[in-house]
Structure 1
Amino acid sequence: MSMDSGSAGAVADSPYSGRDNLDAMRSAVRYNRFLEQLVARHAPPGNGPVLDFGAGLGDFALALKRRGLDVSCLEVDASLAARAQAGGLHTVMAIDEISPQSLHYAYSLNVLEHIEDDRAALTGLRTRLQSGARVLVYVPAFQVLYSEMDRLVGHHRRYTRRSLEAALSGAGFRVEFSRYVDTLGFAASLLYRAISGSGTLTADSIARYDRLVFPLSRMLDSLTDRWIGKNVYAVAVV
């Protein structure tokens, strides 16, 4: 079973429909650690305000807060926002609640695919970032992998490096680079789609993939990250 995006958060056009998958993804210890380290690696020096755009349960925001980042959350799903707030995270439910040009850095993990007008959402985020600030956006890759899981959790699309860069550029960002992630996950997701999986993830299947496959996949990514992977991310600058 591949670990597809199940979503780290929801800034969607309707209340988030994949809460079970969201909880199950907590068992992906290595994958989640990779995402936490990825966000931390591209954070700028200093301790300016950071936004988790589509924070979901707030797990990544809490982990990054423990690393010393000044993280707040944007989460439009009321029940998820309440859970993040209960965890001690400052949480807002609309981009308009964030002052223009106030953010030092922002990241978004498996969220943009939930938003019908992704460029408008990115434009709104850009206006809240300081000049020269970075954003990291991580999303599911390749429409050929679109499956019942994507439908279940409300994905409008999956991305390629080119389409993700185009969305960021169209919103006024300057893209620094983009990369694919999880080479073996591409093959696993194709298989999942072929056998018509139900779309529901189980914690056990995710934990097995995370323990047995994801570490090897990350090793292969160093050779394939320009061409193929289950996910894709980009780093861009205002």
Structure 2
Amino acid sequence: MSEITGDQQVQSEVLEGLATAVNHRRWFVEFALDYLGDDPIEIGSGLGDYALEWAPHFTRFTATEADPDRLVALKERLTGHPNIEVRQMLLPTDELNTYSGAVSYNVLEHIEDHVGALRSISGLVHPGGAIVLIVPAFPFAMSPVDVATGHVRRYTKRTMAEALHAAGLRIERVQYANALGLLGYYMATSVFKLTPSEGPMVKFYDRFVLPLTKGAERLVRPPFGQSVFAVARVPERSA
């Protein structure tokens, strides 16, 4: 980890750090697999780390980015994966009923009108299909890293459920995930003013602490966590 400096440097370090947290990523990949059907879309694919993990499980997988520069980089990285389509996706969109499901990890917290974004995402999904979300948890953990990476909020289970209800979605699951990760993130970013980045601390957590957390949370749902995991269904539309 390193001291927090300019926004662009922070964003780059966080993305690079997350890319090295392989066990964390594969755990969160598992959360979505059973819900997405055979032709899902990811909203906000970033560097494509999750897309590369998800794509082998589906007939077709669509990765998206809103930012033109990141879109170019995403297309370059995902070249050679014939079942992955890469496209630009700007919200709101009028596109309807295109995909079997949608997944979006650590994106909604960047959007001021998150209810409008959820409505727009729901329009992309066939009626009855699922929207799977991961967002950062607990406002008290809002840190300089959150601000530098463009977060406008952190969620609780209650506020996540309120947003899903307001968007007209049918909630299937809302729970916390990665309890020990919340403690580590808060201490690192709010107490010691560090940025999660590639290095020995991230690698140690991912290799040794994360497997223990994953095993425990398979047995008992934690009362808190670094993230909120949510699954909601697009209602069947009236004839």
Tell me the equivalent position of 1:54.
44
Q: State how far apart, in whole Å, the 2-side matches of 1:51 and 1:153 are.
A: 23
Asked if 1:219 is matched to 2:215, the reply is: yes
Gaps of 5+ in 2: 2-7, 80-84, 235-239
Q: State how far apart, in whole Å, the 2-side matches of 1:224 and 1:193 are.
A: 27
Tell me if structure 1 keeps the 8 A contact 2:179–2:222.
no
Q: When the two structures are superposed, what TM-score results if normalisation uses the length of structure 1?
A: 0.85
SS at structure 2 position matched to 1:213: helix
Identify the match of residue 39 of structure 1 among 32, 35, 43: 32
2:96 counterpart letter in structure 1: P
The structure with the largest alpha-carbon Rg is: 2
Tell me if structure 1 keeps the 8 A contact 2:41–2:61.
yes
Map residues 1-238 of structure 1 onto 2, 5 A cutoff: 18-44=11-37, 47=38, 49-86=39-76, 87-88=78-79, 89-95=85-91, 99-222=95-218, 225=221, 227-238=223-234
1:116–1:16 distance in 2 versus 1, CA, 3 Å: farther
- Percent of paired sites with the same residue: 28
Q: State how far apart, in whole Å, the 2-side matches of 1:28 and 1:159 are.
A: 22
1:113 counterpart letter in structure 2: E
Tell me if structure 2 keeps the 8 A contact 1:17–1:154.
no
Gaps of 5+ in 1: 2-14
1:96–1:229 distance in 2 versus 1, CA, 3 Å: closer
- Aligned CA RMSD, in angstroms, stands at 2.2
Query: How much has 1:20 moved relative to structure 2?
Result: 2.7
Q: When the two structures are superposed, what TM-score results if normalisation uses the length of structure 2?
A: 0.85
1:79 counterpart letter in structure 2: D
Kindly report structure 1 stretches of 4+ aligned residues shifted beyond 4 Å.
95-98
Tell me if structure 2 keeps the 8 A contact 1:152–1:199.
no
Q: State how far apart, in whole Å, the 2-side matches of 1:39 and 1:148 are.
A: 29
